[in-house]
Amino acid sequence: MRSLGAGAAGLGLSACGLLRRERPANVVIILADDLGYGDLGCYGAMNAATPNLDRLAAEGLRFTDFYVPQAVCSASRAALLTGCYPNRISLLHALMPQAENGISPEEETIAELLRERGYACGVFGKWHLGHHPEFLPLRHGFDEYFGLPYSNDMWPVGYDGVPVGPDDSKARHPYPPLIDGERKVGEVRTLADQDGLTGLYTARAVRFIEKNKDRPFFLYVPHSMVHVPLGVSAEFRDRSGRGLYGDVLMELDDSVGRILGALKKAGLDRRTLVVFLSDNGPWLNFGNHAGSAGPLLAGADPARFRLPGDGRLDGHPADGGPDRRGPAPAPQDRWPRPSAAPARRFRRFPPRGAIFLLREGPPRRPRGPLEAPRPPRLSFLRRSGARPGRLPRPHGEAGDGVRPL
């Protein structure tokens, strides 16, 4: 249970014995976008309208020290679904609508691994691992998909809802398509369209649970919210007392409650592993349209930001109760095996002929009292003597010097 949210291998399913039962346990992963450590009541937020998430934390395991490999949309999702460092599979930063690359067909996702065990697999929300057909979820282990292929702010509209002028960098973006399976069924063109996203994703997630209640399933719900531009349905607007961001967070919490309610109604609440986490921290430069880092120093910064991650197997609390502090999970990296994919849409990483150097030693010292220790890094050098690139490396045993791998 201590490795929840760490990717395909990090789900800890075998360790928990969940897949050895007569009927395997269901798995539900709910991923918020740009949620802050200090946004939820279970992490100390004052007047937080998040009762469902607080209950999830109280009944299960609440991570207080949780890391993602890179604090940006595509890279974080790539690591979650494949168990690889995103640098290893050439999915760095956030893929733009003009991107020609995406997740490689040679990578194994959680969905592919679970489908081999007889699971139905569905994803409803923001994919952001490539928008061309070969990169969409149905080609990577999922049976159903509905949502946006990339971030909801990648459109030719300003954050005030007004279309941008021709000289604005956003003018090159198309309107984000809503995709059902691999078919475009609509577009997000206005802020009113943004308001409906959370409800649409939630309705499809609930329908998926009802449809597959008699077989094991993997449900992945990567919400577009609370990423800007914020959108909230009329039911929750002006209800939180915390402004628009609080309203959006309130609807996100309600979505979690509806999913948990659907599990209970189907009699699956004691047979389902539920994981809630955020892809990275709050986008602080958006002021009151962004979340709170709470007691931490920064927002979307992989070296210094710790994220909320609630996990539970309902009815089976984790050892030590909800406040047990677990280790910082890290993906089960499979390096040094670069993936091969069509050259037009996939950049090989690491470069051919690279020499890897492991710089061992204690984590780098924090720059302030609220900053987490920064781990050592893995470096690679080209044989040609080009400037080294840099890769993140998880905390490990202290050591001295530099040694070749």
**Catalytic positions, please?**
73, 128
- The CA-to-CA distance between both ends of the chain, in Å, stands at 31
Half-sphere exposure of 193 (CA within 13 A, CB side): 16
Q: How many other CB atoms are there within 10 angstroms of residue 36's CB atom?
A: 29
Round to whole Å and give the CA distance between 199 and 222.
13
Q: 26 vs 23, 254, 274, 314, CA distance in Å?
A: 9, 21, 8, 11
Q: Which of 383, 328, 339, 338 is nearest to 357 (CA)?
A: 383
Beta-strand runs (E) in 82-206 = 120-124, 144-147, 177-180, 183-187
Q: Is 405 exposed, middle or buried (0-12, 13-18, 19+ CB in 10 A)?
A: exposed
Residue-wise burial string across 113-135, b where 16 or more C-beta atoms lie within 10 A, e elsewhere: bbbeeebbbbbbbbbbbbbeebb
Q: Which of 326, 303, 268 is nearest to 6 (CA)?
A: 326
Q: Whose structure tokens read 């095996």?
A: 337
